[in-house]
Amino acid sequence: MTSDFRPQSGFLTVLVERGFLHQCSDLAGLDQIAKSGDLVAYTGFDCTAPSLHAGSLVQIMLLRWLQKTGGKPIALMGGGTTRVGDPSGKDASRQLLPLETIAANKDGIKNVFARFLSFGEGKRDAIIPDNADWLATLNYIDFLRDVGRHFSVNRMLSLDSVKLRLERDQELSFLEFNYMCLQAYDFVELFKRHGCVLQMGGSDQWGNIVTGIDLGRRMGTRQLYGLTSPLLTSSSGAKMGKSAQGAVWLDESMLPVFDYWQYWRNCEDQDTGRFLKLFTELPLDEIARLEALGGAEINEAKKILATEAAAMVHGREAALRAAGAARQTFEEGALAESLPSVKIPAAEIEAGLGVLTAFVRSGLVASTGEARRQIIGGGLKINDRTVTDERMVIGPRDLTGGVVKLSLGRKRHVLLKIA
């Protein structure tokens, strides 16, 4: 992006001011279309898991800001391309999923967008098509003759997603090699069906996006555009959307709201202002004020980030409950009923539940071996008392109001409740 570019459209103004913009194929041309109110843009989401995680939030927010500034967003489900697997940024081939799993994942992913976009039949209403609708019915010979002839293998081999795998002597299947052809064809098909002229994605998608622009030119579409956002990492280099405990899912059934809130509350101080711009809709002057806070006051900014980010995904009420639970747990020392919980049959508590088993079933540790290591390091607590003996059992005497509080470190807690 050129430093002297001054956007005239509301859409690109937001992207520049909030740090969403990394690359664009033609800033001036795209700006004029966005200014006219006729911009239709899409981002693709492959159906590789039952939910999206926080690493997808930048792309979701791009679609949201597009709609808020007068454009029409398309959240493209990759029901077709998921059958192939995107090699971008991958050191090995993706595991091929059964069609039933892809369909179930697609249904789960669709639910995420209801919080961010307004769907309907209007000019600016979002739509959520599935590329399987056109990819699954393609005739292979016809595709090679009509579309495949426009692709240069020389250029495809020069793309980072391919070149890196070849340089490392890592296998790249013919199936994956075709992924960029299908993604490029998606762009052309979305132009034909919906007048879509912009594809957005992370910076690792730049090669695939440019390939789609070139295919459109060769197949006679109007000028198409590409735009990428930075691939985000924390100040320490950690990848967005991942935590020490695994993926930061956007589905409450896969990650409790409290844990989602905690993920943002625990961000690094240096990232607070940047994340407020990207993952909330707070005014920029308010973000500037919060970003300027120093010392212990930065924690108040991080709480606001956590509440606003959680509200975007789970709703304001759930976010405030999570914030209240955190306040009770960490600041008031109370036992917050809204902490994540796991139900245990009363008979198991009566008989005595082993501490190693309890922590595994709570999800705080992945295995009894990890539980033992945490006990040695003083990392596990029951009702705020440090566990020192791996042979300890949890019984009726440990119940407080019918629950037992398990803790891993200072910030992760789960309640065992009698079923």
DSSP string, 382-407: ETTEE---TT-EE-GGG-BTTEEEEE
219 shares a domain with 141: yes
Residue 105, both tokens: 């994942």
DSSP string, 306-318: HHHHHHHHH-HHH
Of 320, 338, 356, which residue is a domain's last? Answer: 338
83 shares a domain with 19: yes
pLDDT at 412 (0 to 100):
85
DSSP state letter for 308: H
Write the CATH number for 326: 1.10.240.10
Residue 238 lies in a domain: no
Q: What is the 3-state secondary structure (H, E, C) of 149-197?
A: HHCCHHHHHHCHHHHHHHHCCCCCCHHHHCHHHHHHHHHHHHHHHHCCC
- Three-class SS of residue 100? helix
Residue pLDDT, tens place only, 344-403: 898 888 899 999 999 999 989 999 999 999 999 999 998 878 999 999 999 888 877 678
Residue 239 lies in a domain: no
Of 291, 309, 338, which residue is a domain's last? Answer: 338
Residue 104 lies in a domain: yes
CA nearest neighbour of 200 among 65, 47, 32: 65
350 shares a domain with 329: no
38 shares a domain with 95: yes
pLDDT at 34 (0 to 100):
97
β-strand 412-418 against 403-408: which pairing, if any?
antiparallel
pLDDT at 162 (0 to 100):
78
Residue 153, both tokens: 């293998």
CB 355 within 8 A of CB 380: yes
Q: What share of the chain is helix, strand, coil (3-state, %, to 5)?
A: 50, 15, 35
CA nearest neighbour of 387 among 345, 346, 359: 359
Torsion of CA 296, 298, 302, 303, to 10 degrees: 50
Residue 3 lies in a domain: no
318 shares a domain with 268: yes
196 shares a domain with 181: yes
pLDDT at 67 (0 to 100):
98
Of 280, 314, 338, which residue is a domain's last? Answer: 338
378 shares a domain with 330: no
Q: Please count the residues of the chain.
A: 419
302 shares a domain with 194: no
Calpha distance 35→69 (Å, rounded): 9
- Three-class SS of residue 107? helix
309 shares a domain with 208: no
Which segments of the chain have a pLDDT < 50?
Answer: 91
39 shares a domain with 181: yes
Residue 129 lies in a domain: yes
219 shares a domain with 269: no
Supply the pTM of this predicted model. 0.80
Calpha distance 45→55 (Å, rounded): 12
106 shares a domain with 46: yes
The total number of structural domains in the chain stands at: 3
Residue 188 lies in a domain: yes
Residue 5 lies in a domain: no
Residues 6+ away with beta carbon under 8 Å from 120: 126
Write the CATH number for 177: 3.40.50.620
Domain span at 395: 341-418
Residue 318 lies in a domain: yes
Query: What is the amino acid identity at position 345?
Result: P
pLDDT at 326 (0 to 100):
81
Residue 386, both tokens: 């440090």
Calpha distance 219→259 (Å, rounded): 48
Radius of gyration (C-alpha) of the chain in whole angstroms: 24
